[in-house]
Amino acid sequence: MKFNTDYVIKKVGDEALLVRQSKKSVDYSKVITLNPTSLLIVEGVMNNLSIDDITEKMVAEYDVSKEKAKQDIIVTINQLKTLNIVYGD
Amino acid sequence: MEINFFVDGLKETLEQDKVFIMPINGTSMQPFLHTGDLVALSKPFALKKNDIVFYLRDNGQYVLHRIFKVKKNKFFLLGDHQTKIEKNIREDQILAKAIYVIINEKKVLFSDKKYRIYLFFWRFRFLRYLIIKLRKI
């Protein structure tokens, strides 16, 4: 599973946003807002963590069962894959 | 999304000598630009008549309009859908200059022939006034 390095995380106040950025330009026309749990997931993928590793982090951070956390993580990653922000298995 | 969010991103991007792409919001630059179109902004350089610039009014409002005239280092600005000229904008108020736009997902360069024809006719303020008034009937 790999993170598309054309995207970067921008922190704006309490919000975190995914913004598309290349060597020559920064595209704010399609910005994706990340809530705290999706930020945790995105940062996990950026740091090359496996789904199980990200699940452990989420369980440690939030009051959620391992099964529910893993399910939510898989759903989020699949959404990011449809946007080509994450690719591979 | 708040305009300040875009402005912070714009300033950071221009500091890196990159181009900043931002969505258009509003009607003042119609018929050329509509809400949802995109504008690519770079550092303001060699500003001249007909350039489209992003600037900060003294009242704190951020605007994207066209340079109608430059006189004694002051800029006179006007939206394509407007007839009243905004006078005496200082160079330090201008944050960025448009280098191209994206309309219906197509890149439009300011050297494009169709754009230059549009600009030729739209610079006539009286013609613009007439068309705007006729549209309201």
> Looking at residue A63, which CATH number applies to its domain?
1.10.10
What total number of domains does chain A contain?
A: 1
Short-list B128, B98, B127, B95, CA closest to B111: B98
According to DSSP H, which parts of chain A are helical?
36-46, 51-61, 66-82
By CA distance, what is A20's nearest residue in B?
B21
- B7 touches A: beta carbon within 8 Å: no
- B40 touches A: beta carbon within 8 Å: yes
Short-list B28, B22, B33, CA closest to B118: B33
- B15 touches A: beta carbon within 8 Å: no
Alpha-carbon distance B96 to B126, whole Å? 28
pLDDT tens, chain B, 137 aa long? 567 778 888 999 999 999 999 999 899 999 899 998 999 999 999 999 999 999 999 999 999 999 999 999 999 999 998 888 999 999 999 999 999 999 998 999 999 999 999 998 877 766 766 777 777 65
A25–B19 CB contact, under 8 Å = yes
Q: Give Cβ neighbours of residue A60 (< 8 Å, ≥ 6 apart).
A: none
Torsional sign, CA B109, B17, B35, B81: negative
Domains annotated on chain B, with CATH: 3-136 (2.10.109.10)
Strand partners, A27: A20, B21
Residues of chain A with Cβ-Cβ distance to B18 below 8 Å are 21, 23-26
ipTM score of the complex? 0.79
A25–B8 CB contact, under 8 Å = no
Domain interval for residue A6: 2-87
- B11 touches A: beta carbon within 8 Å: no
A31–B38 CB contact, under 8 Å = no
Strands (E), B6-119: 19-23, 38-42, 52-56, 62-71, 74-78, 86-90, 94-103, 106-109
The vertex-A48 CA angle with A44 and A50, nearest 5°, equals 75
pLDDT tens-digit profile of A25-39? 999 888 888 999 999
